[in-house]
Amino acid sequence: MLKNHLSTKIRYTARGMGFWVFINALLICNLYGSEQALPSRKINLVHWGIEDPSEIGYISVGILHKQTGDELIVYDIRKDKPRVSEPVALKNQIPSFIGDVYLLDDFQGENTNRLRGYFGNFYGSPSESHITIEKPPDDLSALYFSYNQKRPGFAGFWIHLFDFKKPLSQRVFLDSTPFSFFTFNIKGEAGGEQLALQVADYFWEKREDSVKVGDIESFLPSGRIKKFWQRGWVPLESIPNRIDRKYLASLVFQAQSGRGKIWISDIALTRQKNVPIVRPHRKKFYRSVEQKGMWVWNTRALLADREKQDQIVQFCLENAITDIFLQLPMAGGAKINGIISWDEEKVRFLISLFHSKKIRVHALDGDPRFALREWHHYVIETVRSLVRFNRSVSSKERFDGLRYDIEPYLLPEFPGIYKNEIMNQYLDLLRRIMEETRHTGIEVGVDIPFWFDENNLFYEPVAELEGRPLAEWIIDIVDNIGIMDYRTQAFGADGILVHAKGELQYASKKGKKVFIGLETLDLPDETIIEFEKGNDPPGIQIRKSEGTSITLRYIPAGISFGKDSTLYLSQKKKTFVSSKKLSFAKKSAEDLERVMESAKAELVQFPSFVGFAIHYFESYQRLRAKRKRIVN
């Protein structure tokens, strides 16, 4: 979730706006060159239950910023944008507390504070920021925030005082009127870091903005952030009258300039100043987790190169890989009749080589089309071929498992009106796979995205059947799942822990296994854009094609191709998503290891969690090699 902080952005961009509009137009013309170069996508209106383009009133797309050029993908098309219902009456609470102190958060590992509020960072290019929970070398765990604030960008972080995962009508905000102070411990890596404290009540939070209370250093006894811990005391009476203290929604810390690293701990509300803040003792859960998976796609090259086989086995040993997800090589590279095309002797040798080092091997296959009924026969024949192979070889040469990475949501018709039918066909396939592998000793796993059990921006279930999330249906059927939990931080509102929690809880009840998948492939940045009715760029252009097909073309600011019979929707909201949030490719192997260690400390409380899985061999190998070059 991003914070806009419009006052900051306006302050930095209003001056010289005419010049930058001119430069922006030149850059766009140079970037795209022609109408044909603009990112576009052809779609079929039938998939969205719309008969005529003139009915369209809302579109959501993503612009993937690839090295080969921008690519447009379609997320949602509707006749009207869904409206999130406002609460009939605002709800608030005075939290129960003993004495004069209410400890909001001591950051001992939990992903939410005592009001069920998450934390998260925000930034606008060219600035960057990062936030997590970590333990400094000399102290207990704390909230860690690093930033590089560059104009005209902005950077900071927020802490919610309510559960933002709930719809507006169910949210409960903080009534702070019984308290006199907001207090916290803070220290910086270098000292002299500059942050501003801002707050939001329900009304400001709804606008994704906040009101400044003061500079952090003004609330510290020394008058500046130091390299050692200091306790800051913020009189609640200093909160501007524009904020309703009965409905506080968030605390916002915004970097003022430069770069820095700070730690914050023991945030509390108190009735008096200088009362002691005592951390409660919390019992931590410890459990050994031994498994670690890795996807391997280029099986043909691996089978053809004996030296490469030794390299991957050694890589697995060096990186504690216990499970390999090995892509099945198909006849001619095509998905035809389930024919597996390989040199059986080489496959048997490779499997036995992995087994000699106690590494399990899972046969891997996948294609979004497999979810559709007309492709089921191919998948089932592949499964039968695998079962026959296992029965024909010795135990040391058998596959331990079978894994499908199908991803039906990549089908163009999935987001629209056929979603339920596709999900049902997909589940039917999984049931048939389980029938074919019953009593064979083959463990069946499926890879799924983390959002199969989540809601969209309008609090609508993203993938739900008969009132239950698709993730639960899948877990009921298969032996294990791999959650493609592609995030690069463990904690926070958009971290690994929050996205995996629902699946882990349900799988634990069902006695199933869960791998948490992390990404090392270099993914593109993405800009997510929403459009509503309007006529001027920036916007989305809608052109009729043959039959019920239309072409959507993104028109940036500064570009105009005339207004003939073409329809337009105007851009209403734009959100930039950095690939650094999704993949460790631009980070380091140390970053990956640190995040896995932090996440594992919390994930082990779920019996279903068996370990991480890394996507994929070659990109993970490059990440590890980058560290070796730095060390050497």
pTM score, whole prediction: 0.90
pLDDT the model gives residue 35: 55
Domain stops at, among 221, 241, 270: 270
Looking at the structure, tell me whether residues 325 and 201 fall in a common domain. no
In a domain, 281, yes or no: no
Helix residue spans in 166-274 (DSSP H): 202-206
Cβ neighbours around 632 below 10 Å, total:
5
CATH number at residue 224: 2.60.120.430
pLDDT of residue 301 exceeding 70, the answer is: yes
In a domain, 460, yes or no: yes
Looking at the structure, tell me whether residues 199 and 131 fall in a common domain. yes
> 362's torsion region: left (phi>0), alpha (psi -120 to 50) or beta?
beta
In a domain, 11, yes or no: no
- Rounded CA-CA distance 600/240 in Å is 42
Percent of the chain with pLDDT over 90: 81
In a domain, 276, yes or no: no
Q: Omega into 178 within 30° of 0, i.e. cis?
A: no
pLDDT of residue 595 exceeding 60, the answer is: yes
pLDDT the model gives residue 283: 75
Reported confidence tier of residue 34, pLDDT bands at 50, 70, 90:
low
pLDDT of residue 581 exceeding 60, the answer is: yes
- Rounded CA-CA distance 493/554 in Å is 30
Looking at the structure, tell me whether residues 139 and 207 fall in a common domain. yes
| Gyration radius (Cα) of the chain, Å | 27
395-431 confidence digits (pLDDT tens): 999 999 999 999 999 999 999 999 999 999 999 999 9
In a domain, 248, yes or no: yes
Per mean pLDDT, which range of 9-13, 238-242, 301-305, 320-324 is the poorest?
Answer: 9-13
In a domain, 154, yes or no: yes
Q: Which is more confidently placed, 15 or 130?
A: 130
Please, what is the end-to-end C-alpha distance for the chain in angstroms? 39
Contact (CB, 8 A) for 16 and 24: no
Contact (CB, 8 A) for 362 and 404: no
123-179 confidence digits (pLDDT tens): 988 999 999 998 776 777 899 999 999 999 999 999 999 999 998 889 999 999 999
CATH number at residue 491: 3.20.20.80
In a domain, 6, yes or no: no
CA distances, 139 to each of 183, 225, 243, 277, 441 (Å): 18, 17, 35, 15, 48
Beta bridge partners of 543: 551
Looking at the structure, tell me whether residues 411 and 435 fall in a common domain. yes
Per-residue pLDDT, averaged over 381-406, amounts to 96
Looking at the structure, tell me whether residues 98 and 136 fall in a common domain. yes
Domain that holds residue 166: 91-270
Q: CB-based burial of residue 405 (10 Å sphere; 0-12 exposed, 13-18 middle, 19+ buried)?
A: buried
Contact (CB, 8 A) for 190 and 109: no
- Rounded CA-CA distance 287/337 in Å is 44
pLDDT of residue 436 exceeding 70, the answer is: yes
Per-residue pLDDT, averaged over 249-261, amounts to 95
pLDDT the model gives residue 85: 82
Looking at the structure, tell me whether residues 313 and 266 fall in a common domain. no
Looking at the structure, tell me whether residues 562 and 590 fall in a common domain. no
Reported confidence tier of residue 285, pLDDT bands at 50, 70, 90:
confident
Per-residue pLDDT, averaged over 371-392, amounts to 95
The per-residue pLDDT of the chain, averaged, comes to 90
Looking at the structure, tell me whether residues 250 and 306 fall in a common domain. no
Looking at the structure, tell me whether residues 226 and 335 fall in a common domain. no
Report which secondary-structure segment, H or E, holds 421. helix 419-437
Per-residue pLDDT, averaged over 273-300, amounts to 89
Q: Is the dihedral of CA 294, 298, 303, 306 positive or negative?
A: negative
**For 171, which DSSP code?**
-
Domain stops at, among 270, 302, 323: 270
pLDDT the model gives residue 14: 29
Looking at the structure, tell me whether residues 564 and 626 fall in a common domain. no
- Rounded CA-CA distance 199/142 in Å is 21
pLDDT the model gives residue 462: 95
pLDDT the model gives residue 231: 97
pLDDT the model gives residue 8: 26
**Residue 291: partners with Cβ closer than 8 Å, 6 or more residues away:** 322, 323, 515, 610, 611
Report which secondary-structure segment, H or E, holds 505. helix 496-510
Cβ neighbours around 76 below 10 Å, total:
17
In a domain, 9, yes or no: no
Q: CB-based burial of residue 465 (10 Å sphere; 0-12 exposed, 13-18 middle, 19+ buried)?
A: middle
Neighbour-count burial for 558-572, b at 16+ CB within 10 Å, e otherwise = bbeeeeeeebbbebe
CA distances, 292 to each of 204, 480, 551, 614 (Å): 44, 13, 44, 8
CA distances, 555 to each of 24, 72, 454, 537 (Å): 13, 12, 31, 6
Q: CB-based burial of residue 201 (10 Å sphere; 0-12 exposed, 13-18 middle, 19+ buried)?
A: buried
pLDDT the model gives residue 628: 55
Cα dihedral: 467, 472, 474, 476 (round 10): -110
Domain stops at, among 235, 270, 305: 270
Looking at the structure, tell me whether residues 448 and 561 fall in a common domain. no
**For 341, which DSSP code?**
-
The total domain count for the chain is 3
64-122 confidence digits (pLDDT tens): 999 999 999 999 999 999 988 888 899 999 999 989 999 999 998 789 999 999 999 99
Reported confidence tier of residue 432, pLDDT bands at 50, 70, 90:
very high
- Rounded CA-CA distance 265/81 in Å is 41
**Residue 283: partners with Cβ closer than 8 Å, 6 or more residues away:** none
500-538 confidence digits (pLDDT tens): 999 999 999 999 999 999 999 999 999 999 999 988 889
**For 328, which DSSP code?**
P
Looking at the structure, tell me whether residues 248 and 394 fall in a common domain. no
**For 221, which DSSP code?**
T
Reported confidence tier of residue 342, pLDDT bands at 50, 70, 90:
confident
- Half-sphere exposure of 115 toward its Cβ, with a 13 Å CA cutoff? 32
Best CA proximity match to 199, nearest among 161, 231, 255 = 161
Between strands 360-365 and 401-404, the pairing is parallel
SS (H, E, C) 27-88: HHHHHHCCHHHCCEEEEEHHHHCCCCHHHCCEEEEEEEEECCEEEEEEEEEECCCCCCCCCC
Q: Which is more confidently placed, 15 or 199?
A: 199
pLDDT the model gives residue 288: 87
